[in-house]
Structures are given as C-alpha cells and as structure tokens.
Chains A and B, each alone.
Chain A
Amino acid sequence: MTKFPKIIGGAVFAAVTAFAASAMAEGTLRYATIGEPPSLDVQVGTASLASTISQHMFETLYAFDAAYDPQPMLASGEQVEDDGRTLVISLREGVPFHNGQEMTSEDVVASLTRWGEHGSRGGLLMKNAVSLEATGKYEITLKLSEPNGAWKNLLAFPNGGPVIYPASVASAAGKEPIALEDYIGTGPYRFNEWKPNRHVELVRFDDYAAVDSPADGYAGARVAELDAIRFIPVPDVGTRVSGIQAGDYDYAEFIPGDLFETLDADSAVTVHRNGAPIYGLMFMNSKDGILKENRKLRQAIQAALNKEEALRISIGPEKLWDANGSFYPKTSVWYSDSGVASFSEGDAEKARALAEESGYDGTPIKLLVSTNYQFHYDQATVFTKQLAEAGINVQLIVVDWATLLKKRAQPDQWDIFFTHHGSVPDPVLITVLNETYPGWWETTEKEALKASFTGTADIDARRNAWSDLQALIYDQVPAVKTGDVYSYNIASPALKGIGDSTVIWPHFWGVTK
C-alpha cells in the first residue's frame, strides 16, 4: 500500500525536474550530431560537421544565395580589371569581430594569405596570385597571373575556404589548426565552449553587423534569434530519433534511409531532405599499380557497374537517391549529360571484352573501403559481385576511416578507393580535378581543359569546358561516380524558420523555437 504512492512520487519528481531542465533549455537549439567535429578551423579542414558549426561563427567575403550565386557578405562590392587578372574588393565598414575589434583589410589580407598558403582549397585561387595587398582600410586588391573564372565561388565556399579571422589569429596560426581560444569570427553566433564528448556551444553575438538585404540561402541578413546552439554528439541513431520524439533534441542529422518513410509519416518530427546530394566516388590509382595508365581496364570496370542496383540496395527509398551520371543535378547551371551514357551500363559482356583488350590477367584489384560509412561498404560489396560477373577480380580491403585516410596516401596500398563527395557550387572544387588528391589524375588533355575552364569568367565558356571535362572523366575514368544520395535530417515541429533545406549544411540563423 505504501509503495504505490512512492512510485507516483518518483514519477512526479522526474517529471518536474524534466520540466525544469526543458525550461532552462528555452532559446537553446540542441542539435544531435553523429559525432564530434575535428578542429573548427575550416580554412584547413573540410569536415562537413565543422562547416555546419563554424558557418555560424566565421564568415566569408561572399556567400551563396539559394540559387548558389555568390552575393557579398563581408565584401560590399568588387571591380574586376585587367581581363580578370586584378580583383579589387571593397569591404563592409563597421563589422566587428567577436573580440570587439573592427574587421579591416589587414584582417582580410592575413586570412587570405594563410588560406592561400595552408588552406585546403586555397591553392585553387591563390597559386596564381601575384600580389595581395590592402589598398585601403576597407579595400583589398588581388592580382593574378591568369584570370580565374571561379574566383568568386572560391571566396564564397566556406568548407576548406577563406573565412576571415582577425589578422593576429591568422598570422599566428600558420600551418596549424587554430586553437579553441582563438575561434574569433564575425558571425551571428560566437564560440562559447567545447566540452569533449558533451557539446560544442555557440552563443548569440549581440553586436553582430548583418548585411542589409533579406536572407536568401547563406546570403543576406543573418538574424540570430536563438540564445545559443548546442551541437551534441549522439552516436546512436535510435537515440537521436527518440531524442527528437521525446523533446530532448530539436534537430538530428544522419538518419538512415530505412527510417525515412516511418518518420515522414510521424507528426512528432519534421523531415528535412537535403536538396544538395552527396555522391559516392571510386578513385582509380593513376600513380601506381594495375590501373595506372591502363585506360581500357578502367573502362571495363566502369562498364561492368550497375549503379541503380547498388543505390537501391545501399540507400533504400527512391526519394533518397538518383542514378544521375552528371556531377550536378538537373536544377544546377552546371548540369551536363556529356559522357553519362557510360554511367551505369551494367554490361558484363562489354566489360569482359574491354578487360581482355586491356591485357587483364585476373590479378586481384585492391579496392579500399571503410565501414564507417555504411553505404560505401554496401555499394562496394555490390560492385565486387558485378565485377566478378565480368571476370574482374576485386580484393576488398575493409578498414576504418582513419586507416583508409592513411593508406590512400600510399600509392602502393590500393588500386581503387571509395569515398564520397559533397555538393560544391563550382566544378573546380570537385576533388577529381585536383591532381594532388589521392588518385593523382594528371593528363595533358585534362590540364588543357581545366585551364580553359578556369581561365575565363564567361559563364557559357565555362559551362562548355566543364561539359568537356565531364566527358573526359567518363573516357579516362580517373574516378567513377556512383550516383546521387540525398541525406535527410529530422527536427522538432516546434522549430520555425528552418525552411526547406536546399543548401548544403543546415544553418540556424533566422530560426526560432
């Protein structure tokens, strides 16, 4: 008789304390992440989660609108002179950093210099820099030896991109990732704390100077409505989903395809399908091994693969994948169907004939794949079977991601490796075109096309050059695209202003709860 009231009392205590805890969390958005990001210094790192978090703290000179057109963010305008070889960029005045200091051209020059020397993607623009100078307190001038038609896209892309730090921070950091205490930017949220295994917390920057234009994609006014944003590592997907349903989190990422239809029909959550796909890539080794300079064998591998089958097995619901051979979706200005006839032939006989023509003698081809990303492993398994049917032997080397990253830098360790690529607003950012990226594709045809692609600012000329480059990828097969995958995230219905997630990384300015 006395036990029952105690149980009720316990439940009431739990409910009251839970209510108190949730009341404390008002104004704080709790984002359940799949893990923890590496350094948030996005100039040198390219991890997606780091970009998701840091875009609230650090800003670039330009930012993409919803149509992926770069619009001024920290810049206020530009003059392009000398046939695109001289770029004069004026800066917005009165933009404070989180430490109170005003952003000036000195900070921009220091940040762009560091990005050019040590940034992941800095070389794409800055390798042809002749000079970079502050030509006024709010103006910089970048002189290039060759025009670069992608310059504005490169300055707008924050992932591995030129975010602006105070000059003192950028100069002191050099090659090394920036320390936590130096996470100082100009964004609507500022860094508060990083508690290992617990959360990364950003808080509203009250002195934020927003652009005077309506919010549009990543561009326009960024209004911080929330008091704070917490990025909380929740590695188990079941817990991320239950946490949203229980009200413990407001947003959760990386939900697997097999839950899509159930969650889509669940009124306790809202589903946000990412409008920008990621796609699997199998890089061929151009430096060493059996595939080096053996174009026929690469074409044989390409001909054997049925991508639709692999996508159906590895991803599931058809809303979440598209067997699209173009490197861009149909809605993009960069969409092209050049070469895509070879995308998913699944023709074992053709593959067998091409392999024979290449002189292939049955030597196992080493395919390096990680289990950290389930769809990599699932697709690699399907492809191994398809290749076996064409008489091509594949030796799957299954490792964890850390091992894959190390092994792929060693050309004698692999013939093909599996990775994936996020959507990028300009083809120049696609790693297949980067000759220093493992795979090391460097042919005269590619270099010539790439030069004509980057060497002009004329959009039609660039589109034609990209179309030819895509056709060349399907001919020389430096990498095999495995199809578009649309990830999705889930959110509490209480979150307002999140809109349709048509951009690459979810952002939370303009969002209330």
Chain B
Amino acid sequence: MWLYILKRLGAAATTLAAASVIIFIFIHLIPGDPLYVLLGDGATPDQVDALRQKLGFDRSLAVQYFSWLSNVLQGDFGQSIFFQTPVLSVIGDGAETSILLASITMVWIILLGIPVGMIAAMRHGSWTDQGLSGLAMLLASVPTFWVGLYLILIFAAWLGWLPSSGYPSIFDDGGLANLQHLLLPSLALAAPNAALILRLTRASMLDVAREDYVRTARAKGIRPWRVVVRHIFRNALLAVVSAFGFTLAALISEAVVTETVFALPGIGRLVVQSILRRDYPVIQGVILITVVLYLGVNLCVDLSYRFLDPRVELE
C-alpha cells in the first residue's frame, strides 16, 4: 500500500506542476487589468505604470511565472493586489468559513441522505418510498439560490430565528454561537446533495439486497435490522463513499452561489470577486490550493475503499 501511496503522490506532483502552468497562463490571458480596478476611474497612465512596475507586472509572463513558483515553493503566495495583504492570510480567512460550511453541510447530507435513503430502500415500492423519492427529486431540481432566499425569508425575515446572512468568525465575539450563521446556508447547500445521496443509498441498497448472500443471511434467520446494517448497508456504502468525493468537489463549486446569497466570506465568493477584480495572486493561490485538496481528497477516498472492503486491492 505504501508503494501505491508513493506512486499516487508522484502522479499528484506532476498534475500539480501542469496545473500551476495552466492556472497562471489562463488567468493572465483574461482581458482586463487589475491596476485600473484598484486605482479607479480617474487613474492616470502615469499612476498605472508606476504601480505596474512596483508589482512586477511589466516583466515577461515567463519571468513572472517562475518568480511566483519559486516563492510558492517557499510558502510565499504573494500579496493580494486588491487587499494589499498576504494571499495566504486572505485565503486563510475565507477557508474558515468554507471548511465549516462544508463540514456542517456534509453532516446534513449524511444525517438526511443516508438514513432516509435506507428507509426508502427498506420500504421499497411503498407510499413512503415514493414520497421520499419524490421529495428527493424536488430538492435535487430546485436551484440552491432559490432555496437559500426562501430560507432567509422564512427563518430570518419572518420568524427572526436565525441570522439572514454573514458569518462572524468563531474566534471573534460570539464564539461558537456564530455557527448559527451557517445553519441556513448549510441547509440550502445540503438540500440537492442530500437528495442525490438519498437516491444513491436507496438504489445501491436495493442492488445489494438482491445478492445471494443477503438471501442466505435471511434464510439463516439473522434478525432483519442486522441484515440491513451489516450485510446490505455496509456493502452498499462503497458506492455512497465514492459519491462523497464528488459531492465534496460539487460543494466547493456550488458554495459560490450559496456564499453570495448568504454574504458569507468564503473561498467561493473570494474567487469570483478576485476574478472580477483580476486579483491574480489570490486567484492563483486559491486554485492551486484547491487542486491540492482535490488530489488529497481523491487519494483519501481511494484509500478508504481498502478499509471498507478488504477484498479491494490497491495497485
């Protein structure tokens, strides 16, 4: 297994190197100039040129790339053009929101998607199954922003139970109570993904339930809940766990909309705003770190197969 991990890490390094070149080139190919955005409507060419020189944007792209790469390898992702603060600090601040949002969302997805999917599978063909499957289809079809706006309207504007938007850090005044700011956004983000996990759990469990060993287990008189949990659910989990990898990736892209609707200071909104402002160092930093995370998550998901099913060989 260690050899497998080493091979995967080697492949990841190559992917990362290629990604860094692509990220850098594509970002600099976007038309527009961050200096005009920073200096505003009335900037004189003289001011723009001075700032361009100071930030090193007057050098060739190749020189800029290798300078950036060499700094990144030393842990220095540069300075945000717009915020005039280190990129890692800007990303770090957004990461707190995004990590907590993704974590709470995953909890919702697991709590809602898996048990309800199990119930639907166990009551296959019944009204309960049809009702739950219909609800899942509805949640998967409704856009996240729409769900978000209605959650704000009902729970914040009408009932006043939860904050409508924003997220003060848990390290600021309010501490852990600030997590209430993430309840509505995580629900909005979880809704379509929980629906998918629900349907996948249901379908996967129905497939496994038809296997001979399940019939044998039942014939041996094992209690029904034990058959479901130990024989059906555990074997159905492989497909569901694979889907979690994709779901996590989807959360990152879907979070852009959720973070915008709920005014959350997360990574998704940071990327979109940074693209609009042409804040190259921030865009490059976020994408590079995201690529690393993707590669890491996928490796972890692949490794988890081995623990979930000892028959799986890692080569």
The 8 A CB mask of A402-419 against B (1 = contact, 0 = none) is 110111010000000001
Q: Is the Cβ of A46 less than 8 Å from the Cβ of B165?
A: no
Q: Is the Cβ of B44 less than 8 Å from the Cβ of A47?
A: no
Which one, B43, B51, B161, B169, contacts A15 given CB within 8 A? Answer: B161
Given A18-B163, A196-B83, residue A176 in contact with residue B51 (CB < 8 A):
yes
Q: Is the Cβ of A246 less than 8 Å from the Cβ of B54?
A: no
List of A residues within 8 angstroms of B174 by Cβ: 17, 20-21, 24
List of B residues within 8 angstroms of A196 by Cβ: 80, 83, 85, 90, 93-94, 265, 270
Give min CB distance, A505 to chain B, whole Å: 15
The 8 A CB mask of A217-253 against B (1 = contact, 0 = none) is 0000000000000001111101100110111100000
Q: Does B40 lie at the interface of the complex (its beta carbon under 8 Å from any beta carbon of A)?
A: yes
Q: How large is the interface on B (under 10, 10 to 19, 20 to 34, 35 or more residues)?
A: 35 or more
Give min CB distance, B136 to chain A, whole Å: 21
Please, how many angstroms separate the alpha-carbon atoms of A280 and B161 in the complex? 42
Closest to A119 in B: B42
Q: Is the Cβ of A177 less than 8 Å from the Cβ of B93?
A: no
Q: Does B130 lie at the interface of the complex (its beta carbon under 8 Å from any beta carbon of A)?
A: no
Chain B residues 191-214 with CB under 8 Å of chain A are none
Which one, B153, B162, B262, B263, contacts A14 given CB within 8 A? Answer: B162
Q: Does A180 lie at the interface of the complex (its beta carbon under 8 Å from any beta carbon of B)?
A: yes
Please tell me which stretch of A36-44, A87-95, A99-107 contacts chain B, meaning at least 4 of its Cβ atoms lie within 8 angstroms of it: A36-44
Which one, B38, B164, B261, B270, contacts A177 given CB within 8 A? Answer: B38
Number of cross-chain contacts by CB at 8 Å? 183
Q: Does A400 lie at the interface of the complex (its beta carbon under 8 Å from any beta carbon of B)?
A: yes
Please, how many angstroms separate the alpha-carbon atoms of A492 and B150 in the complex? 21
The 8 A CB mask of A27-51 against B (1 = contact, 0 = none) is 0000010011011000011110010
Closest to B165 in A: A239
Q: Does A120 lie at the interface of the complex (its beta carbon under 8 Å from any beta carbon of B)?
A: yes
The 8 A CB mask of B152-184 against A (1 = contact, 0 = none) is 110011001111111111000110011010010
Give min CB distance, B82 to chain A, whole Å: 7
Q: Does A11 lie at the interface of the complex (its beta carbon under 8 Å from any beta carbon of B)?
A: yes
Which one, B37, B263, B278, contacts A233 given CB within 8 A? Answer: B263
Q: Does A325 lie at the interface of the complex (its beta carbon under 8 Å from any beta carbon of B)?
A: no
Q: Does A197 lie at the interface of the complex (its beta carbon under 8 Å from any beta carbon of B)?
A: yes
Please tell me which stretch of B27-35, B66-74, B237-245, B302-310 contacts chain A, meaning at least 4 of its Cβ atoms lie within 8 angstroms of it: B27-35
Q: Is the Cβ of A409 less than 8 Å from the Cβ of B164?
A: no
Q: Is the Cβ of A194 less than 8 Å from the Cβ of B40?
A: no
Number of interface residues of A (CB under 8 A): 59
Chain B residues 224-275 with CB under 8 Å of chain A are 260-263, 265-266, 269-270, 273
Give min CB distance, A286 to chain B, whole Å: 17
Chain A residues 99-128 with CB under 8 Å of chain B are 118, 120-121
Which one, B39, B40, B80, B164, contacts A243 given CB within 8 A? Answer: B164
The 8 A CB mask of A173-203 against B (1 = contact, 0 = none) is 0011101100000000000001111100000
Which one, B47, B166, B262, contacts A44 given CB within 8 A? Answer: B47
Q: Does B45 lie at the interface of the complex (its beta carbon under 8 Å from any beta carbon of A)?
A: yes
Q: Is the Cβ of A180 less than 8 Å from the Cβ of B265?
A: no
Q: Is the Cβ of B173 less than 8 Å from the Cβ of A24?
A: yes
Which one, B32, B40, B156, B270, contacts A38 given CB within 8 A? Answer: B40
Please, how many angstroms separate the alpha-carbon atoms of A248 and B47 in the complex? 39
Please, how many angstroms separate the alpha-carbon atoms of A242 and B184 in the complex? 14
Given A239-B262, A405-B37, A409-B45, residue A180 in contact with residue B84 (CB < 8 A):
yes
Q: Does B276 lie at the interface of the complex (its beta carbon under 8 Å from any beta carbon of A)?
A: yes
Chain A residues 423-438 with CB under 8 Å of chain B are 431, 436-437
Please, how many angstroms separate the alpha-carbon atoms of A45 and B33 in the complex? 15
Q: Is the Cβ of A121 less than 8 Å from the Cβ of B173?
A: no
Q: Does A169 lie at the interface of the complex (its beta carbon under 8 Å from any beta carbon of B)?
A: no
Given A198-B93, A400-B32, A405-B33, residue A239 in contact with residue B261 (CB < 8 A):
yes
Give min CB distance, B85 to chain A, whole Å: 7
Q: Is the Cβ of A44 less than 8 Å from the Cβ of B94?
A: no
Q: Is the Cβ of B47 less than 8 Å from the Cβ of A409?
A: no
Please, how many angstroms separate the alpha-carbon atoms of A198 and B96 in the complex? 12
Among the interface residues B90, B163, B263, which one has the most CB atoms of the partner chain A within 10 A?
B263
Q: Is the Cβ of A246 less than 8 Å from the Cβ of B164?
A: yes
Q: Is the Cβ of A247 less than 8 Å from the Cβ of B160?
A: yes
Q: Does A160 lie at the interface of the complex (its beta carbon under 8 Å from any beta carbon of B)?
A: yes
Which one, A11, A239, A406, A431, contacts B31 given CB within 8 A? Answer: A406
Closest to A30 in B: B166
List of B residues within 8 angstroms of A194 by Cβ: 83
Please, how many angstroms separate the alpha-carbon atoms of A399 and B47 in the complex? 24
Q: Is the Cβ of B80 less than 8 Å from the Cβ of A242?
A: no
Q: Is the Cβ of A46 less than 8 Å from the Cβ of B260?
A: no
List of B residues within 8 angstroms of A198 by Cβ: 93, 166-169, 265
Please, how many angstroms separate the alpha-carbon atoms of A267 and B145 in the complex? 26
Please, how many angstroms separate the alpha-carbon atoms of A15 and B177 in the complex? 11
Which one, B41, B82, B153, contacts A46 given CB within 8 A? Answer: B41
List of B residues within 8 angstroms of A14 by Cβ: 161-162, 180, 183
Give min CB distance, A27 to chain B, whole Å: 13
Closest to A35 in B: B273
List of B residues within 8 angstroms of A242 by Cβ: 149, 152-153, 156-157, 164-165
Q: Does B277 lie at the interface of the complex (its beta carbon under 8 Å from any beta carbon of A)?
A: yes
Given A20-B177, A44-B47, A242-B153, residue A38 in contact with residue B162 (CB < 8 A):
no
Q: Is the Cβ of B177 less than 8 Å from the Cβ of A11?
A: no
Give min CB distance, A246 to chain B, whole Å: 4
Give min CB distance, B160 to chain A, whole Å: 6
List of B residues within 8 angstroms of A403 by Cβ: 31-32
Q: Is the Cβ of B277 less than 8 Å from the Cβ of A402?
A: yes
Give min CB distance, B257 to chain A, whole Å: 9
Give min CB distance, B278 to chain A, whole Å: 5
Please, how many angstroms separate the alpha-carbon atoms of A44 and B40 in the complex? 8
Give min CB distance, B314 to chain A, whole Å: 40
The 8 A CB mask of B12-42 against A (1 = contact, 0 = none) is 0000000000000000000111101111111
Please, how many angstroms separate the alpha-carbon atoms of A175 and B43 in the complex? 11
Apart from A197-B265, A245-B157, 8 more pairs, CB < 8 Å: A15-B160, A18-B163, A39-B84, A196-B80, A197-B270, A236-B260, A239-B165, A248-B165
**Can you list 23 pairs linking A and B with CB atoms under 8 Å apart?**
A21-B178, A35-B273, A36-B82, A44-B40, A44-B43, A47-B40, A120-B40, A120-B44, A160-B40, A179-B84, A196-B85, A196-B270, A235-B269, A238-B149, A238-B261, A242-B152, A246-B157, A372-B276, A401-B276, A402-B32, A403-B31, A405-B33, A405-B41
5 smallest A-B Cβ distances: which pairs?
Answer: A120-B42, A197-B265, A402-B32, A405-B36, A246-B156
